[in-house]
Amino acid sequence: MRLFYLEPERWAEPWVLDGPEARHALKAVRLGVGDELRLFDGCGREGEFRIVQAGKDRAELEALELRQAEPPLAQIHLALGWSRQARRSWLLEKAVELGAAGLWFWRAERSQGDPPDEPKEGWFAKMVAGAKQSGNLFLPESGVIANGLDGLVEFGRGFDRRRLCSEAAKAPLVRPVDLAAQGRILVVVGPEGGLTDQETAALKSGGFMAVSLGQGVLRWETAALAALGLAFWARAKG
């Protein structure tokens, strides 16, 4: 049964799906009156519904069954050094498929340009697409960390564990179970070009532990997804 997104503030009777999600259901998927579909709100609520009335870009629904999922006990957040690359949209979508609990951008010394003050509307659309593809009922938190490195260090104080992806030869190899342990973990990934020695030192002083993702130099989006993939695998293994 196809999955569609309904905003949390609209998760109530009368059940109505409209806008792009309705057009997707009615035109692309070709659902009509009497057909059933699934909705989710990105906060763990989901349900099965039947279409009782359909228009051009609006569907009125009847709730058949509603459910509430418990949030995961292990929550991995990424702090991504800002990079002006087309692969960012791809990263946002795949990160949701792999269960990221948070996606945060910050300006590093080698960042290419400045991140926006607020998340862009298109970012959310990519995350919704990833959730619909994977069936992930929880959309990640997202935002832009202000004040660069200082802001990142302060932001990290709100997490149970803090890790820094490092290419340094002495950094220990990351343990997947560490990335998937219960609680909130923040994993920092540098921008294209990596972090400076000064940034690495400041993060370590701020309580971040440097860890290696393995041999080779990974692009920033590859490193981000590698960290999420290790956590995804460890959670599945139990």
Q: Where residue 125 sits, what CATH number does that domain have?
A: 3.40.1280.10
Whether 180 and 121 share a structural domain: yes
Q: Tell me how far the alpha carbon of residue 194 is from its chain's centroid.
A: 22
Question: What local confidence, expressed as pLDDT, does residue 169 receive?
Answer: 64
Whether 53 and 87 share a structural domain: no
pTM for this prediction: 0.94
Measure the CA dihedral 4/7/11/13, to 10°.
Answer: -80
Whether 82 and 25 share a structural domain: no
Low-confidence ranges of the chain (pLDDT < 70): 169
C-beta of residue 83 within 8 angstroms of C-beta of residue 114: no
Q: What are residue 38's DSSP bridge partners?
A: 3, 48
Whether 84 and 113 share a structural domain: yes
Question: What local confidence, expressed as pLDDT, does residue 85 receive?
Answer: 73
Question: What local confidence, expressed as pLDDT, does residue 191 receive?
Answer: 92
> Which of 26, 42, 68 marks a domain boundary?
68
Tell me the per-residue pLDDT of 153-187, one tens digit each, with 9 for 90 and over. 999 999 999 999 988 768 899 999 999 999 999 99
Question: What local confidence, expressed as pLDDT, does residue 1 receive?
Answer: 78
